[in-house]
Homo-oligomer: A and B are copies of this chain.
Amino acid sequence: MSHPLLDLPPLTAERFAAIERRVAALLHTEQDVVITQGEALLPLEGCIRGGARPGSTALNVVTGPYGQTFGNWLRDAGATVVDLEVPFHAAVSAQDVARALSGHPEIDFVSLVHAEAATGNTNPVAEIGEVVRSHGALFMVDAVASVAAEPLLVDAWGVDLCVIGAQKAMGGPAGVSAVSVSERAWRRLADNPAAPRRSYLSLLDWKERWIDAGRKALPHAPAQLEMLALEACLERIEEAGLDAVIARHRAAAAATRAGAAALAAVEPYVYRDEDAAPVATTLRTLDGVAADGLVARALALEPGLPLVAGGGALAKEMIRVNHYGRDADPAVVVRTLRTLAGVLEADPEPAVAAADAAWQV
């Protein structure tokens, strides 16, 4: 019985390695890239449990829920954690980071989420990277929600551990993910006796068994179909051109922001345009209108719309408009604005006109 998802000839080591190289090119890095066989939470956890240890001090920039998760992992790993909490309506600045670092010279690890899909902000990784590098700490960036949506220059920016997933702006699979690892980061992990080893979480295992062993045989059978889907989405991005894919996401964000500004009953959650993430725009409801009810009504009208209410305590006041992958599209943006206008009983035309005017590719 033939089935297109079964009985494939095994993925060769050569092809796996070629996919690694394409990911490295996407990240503009010469570092090792490890393609982890699980969702991006896997390498994020592996990086933190490997990079932090009792005795280390970590600066954890919290701009959304993932930052909170990172803090938990850091404490769990025995590190002293300095949380730099940033209000969700803003980005962190390099100055904020510099101030925190100067207040804690012992900080040797900095974790940062590049763009936050959940809160809609994005952080200036390039500037922060400069500050972190001059301080000397290891710099980990979660770029799951920024890769392919905004520039990501791992080497130029001095990122030591950069984690990506393909399921947002890359338009690819969620079942495999990747992390680039600098030489400095490898040393840090190798020197950490508590770093995961002989574990599904271990980056060091992968280095020893795959990279250092000459990339001849995979340590265990990969998630082959997810790897093929990753390869296919990389091909698609290469064909369209990474710059064009980034521009499309930026245009979607600008159009959504501009359109939302024309709807009187909501306001952009993130104050400044330059702090707004290219994959999602968060809106605050005014006048006590419940965000989750609004989103439910909108989705009742149009089930496929990329709308979500904020998580947890934000459910009543935050509407998140996603615009990544296939939703980074002018028609989807317009449809979303129209539907929001409808459930807000507002005139949609000014919002649509503003979105059209703001769409620039």
Contacts and interface: CB of A to CB of B under 8 A. Distances in A.
A172 interface: yes
A302 B338 CA distance: 11
A212 interface: no
A313 interface: no
Given A174-B222, A175-B226, A200 B38 contact: yes
A4 interface: yes
The secondary-structure label for the interface of chain A is loop
Contacts of A232: 3, 5-6
A334 B301 contact: yes
A2 interface: yes
Contacts of A222: 39, 174-175
Nearest to A42: B200
Interface in A213-247: 220-226, 228-229, 232-233, 236, 239
Nearest to A240: B1
B223 A1 contact: no
B226 A223 contact: yes
Contact of A4 (B225, B239, B338, B339): B225
Contacts of A339: 335
Q: How many copies of the chain does the oligomer comprise?
A: 4
A342 B338 contact: yes
A3 B236 contact: yes
Contact of A173 (B38, B223, B236, B304): B223
Contact of A198 (B37, B69, B334): B69
A223 B40 CA distance: 11
Interface size class of chain A, counting residues whose CB lies under 8 Å from the partner chain: 35 or more
A118 to B, nearest CB: 13
A130 interface: no
Interface string A42-55: 10010000000000
Considering residues A8, A175, A338, A339, which has the most beta carbons from chain B within 10 angstroms of its beta carbon? Answer: A175
A37 B69 CA distance: 19
Contacts of A201: 199-201
Contacts of A330: 303
Contacts of A199: 45, 201
A119 interface: no
Contacts of A5: 4, 173, 225, 228-229, 232
21 contacts: A1-B12, A1-B15, A2-B8, A2-B9, A4-B5, A5-B173, A5-B225, A37-B38, A38-B38, A72-B198, A173-B224, A174-B221, A174-B222, A174-B223, A175-B175, A199-B201, A223-B226, A225-B226, A302-B331, A335-B339, A338-B342
